[in-house]
Amino acid sequence: MTNAAVESEVRTYCRSWPTTFTHGLGSRLHDDAGRSYLDFFAGAGALNYGHNHPVLKQALMSYLDQDGVIHSLDMATTARAGFLAAFGRRILAPRNLDYRVQFCGPTGTNSVEAALKLARKVTGRSTVVAFTGAFHGMSLGSLAVTGNASKRAGAGVTLGHTYRVPYDGFGDVGGSGLLLLERMLDDSSSGVDLPAAVIVETVQGEGGVNVARTQWLTDLAGLCRSRGILLIVDDVQMGCGRTGPFFSFEATGVVPDIVCLSKSISAYGLPMALTLFRPELDVWTPGEHNGTFRGSNPAFVTATAALEEFWQDGILEKQTADRATLVEGQLRTLADRYAGQITGCRGRGLVWGLEFKDPAMAPRVSAHAFARGLLVETSGSADQVVKLLPPLTTTEDELAEGLAILTASITTSLRT
């Protein structure tokens, strides 16, 4: 089972899913008791192409076979150059995006740290606007812009230089957070200084699958532009196709000044992160945001293979849209059947959340689903949302199977 005798109390997911996993392929994980699980958690969004995708595995195996350089800080390697070329060719150029690529430490939180530092350096201002329900990571800069009280409490120091605004749909104030922000910025006695940046998720994954409306996002972008505030989109969880297009903001027409990417960018669950920004913002001096693991070549190899495999045509994006329709239909039917107990059904692409009136219900559903062979996690301020994050490569049959298990788990949970 788990290593409870030696491993720190800080461990989490092994508590929700108390078994020992051995191997995985596609959307399925297997444990040492011979059980198999449909994985609708997908490494918290790090496995958008599933476990051990054969094309990515082959690219990695052949790189290893050639004794390709594994670790190289930010020295030039063929693997790094190959990724940069493919990212330009498959992602940036077709979208008319002119971004510099910064390889940062290989975690989402480090990409956010780089974004915040850069925005502060470029503007010479210190405050960053962040939203209720936001999740941006666990290091101090990212934690300061994260909303969750218990995570923030772990900092042990004052988390400052942040101005908090209601996210779209927060509580019963709807989209009025932006109006509040605008009024505060326009009133020289409001006590709110002009911020360096606004950091936003287009869909808040950890915050409970809160989906911002397109209009709200374009209004936010307009507000930033008109006042010289940099717009950072944290696409760590919603990027790499999770909502359909490669970047979650594509459908809105918003072009952020800075973008954070991690999780599924390596495509294979290998640690990797990028911060993208407009070339004019590239005011870094060499080594100013440094890190030992900015050159994980195996991650570059699998990332490149995924860009060639999934992003040279619109097939995956179209497939995600089709599967989204299928998932949404079934979840809405479920939500209707249990109206009163299920108080929200939200999502986009292949990220969906069912919100329960009784917050105790979501962990119960997750536990029943685990017992039946399905991994689904919970999210939201009171863990009241069951969150579905299947790999984008999950087949229709697997989606149907997972949704059937989810339905049975909800039925059981609401009865007991």
User: How many residues can be counted in the chain?
Assistant: 416
- The 3-class secondary structure across 318-352, one letter per residue, is HHHHHHHHHHHHHHHHHHHHCECCEEEEEEECCEE
Considering only the stretches 51-59, 73-81, 200-208, 326-334, report the one whose residues sit in contact with ligand PMP under the rule CB under 6 A. 200-208
Query: Nearest Cα to 381, choosing from 163, 169, 149, 213?
Result: 149
CB of 63 or CB of 247, closer to ligand PMP: 247
CB of 206 or CB of 317, closer to ligand PMP: 206
Largest pairwise CA distance in the chain:
65
**Is residue 262 close enough to count as binding ligand PMP by CB under 6 A?**
yes
Q: How far is the CB of 212 from ligand PMP (least distance, A)?
A: 13
* Structural contact between residues 227 and 185, judged by C-beta atoms closer than 8 angstroms: yes
357 torsion bin: left (phi>0), alpha (psi -120 to 50), beta (else): alpha
49 torsion bin: left (phi>0), alpha (psi -120 to 50), beta (else): alpha
Q: How far is the CB of 234 from ligand PMP (least distance, A)?
A: 5
CB of 201 or CB of 355, closer to ligand PMP: 201
CB of 122 or CB of 240, closer to ligand PMP: 240
Considering only the stretches 97-105, 132-140, 211-219, 246-254, report the one whose residues sit in contact with ligand PMP under the rule CB under 6 A. 132-140
**Is residue 268 close enough to count as binding ligand PMP by CB under 6 A?**
no
**Is residue 44 close enough to count as binding ligand PMP by CB under 6 A?**
yes
**Is residue 210 close enough to count as binding ligand PMP by CB under 6 A?**
no
Q: How far is the CB of 205 from ligand PMP (least distance, A)?
A: 5
**How many whole angstroms separate alpha carbon 403 and alpha carbon 392?**
15
* Structural contact between residues 75 and 48, judged by C-beta atoms closer than 8 angstroms: no
Query: Nearest Cα to 67, choosing from 301, 391, 277?
Result: 301
**Is residue 201 close enough to count as binding ligand PMP by CB under 6 A?**
yes
Q: Residues with Cβ < 8 Å from 391, sequence gap 6 or more?
A: 26, 27, 39, 42, 47, 48, 49, 50, 51
C-alpha separations of 274 from 1, 41, 99 in Å: 35, 22, 11
**Is residue 205 close enough to count as binding ligand PMP by CB under 6 A?**
yes
* Structural contact between residues 323 and 214, judged by C-beta atoms closer than 8 angstroms: no
Q: How far is the CB of 323 from ligand PMP (least distance, A)?
A: 21
- Residue type at position 37: Y
CB of 77 or CB of 107, closer to ligand PMP: 107
Q: How far is the CB of 312 from ligand PMP (least distance, A)?
A: 26
CB of 108 or CB of 244, closer to ligand PMP: 108
Report which residue's Cβ sits closest to ligand PMP: 108
Q: Which of residues 100-129 bind ligand PMP (CB under 6 A)?
A: 107-109, 112
Per-residue x/- track, 135-164, ligand PMP (CB under 6 A): xxx---------------------------
Q: Which of residues 230-249 bind ligand PMP (CB under 6 A)?
A: 234, 236-237
Applying CB under 6 A, which residues contact ligand PMP?
A: 44, 107-109, 112, 135-137, 201, 205-206, 234, 236-237, 262
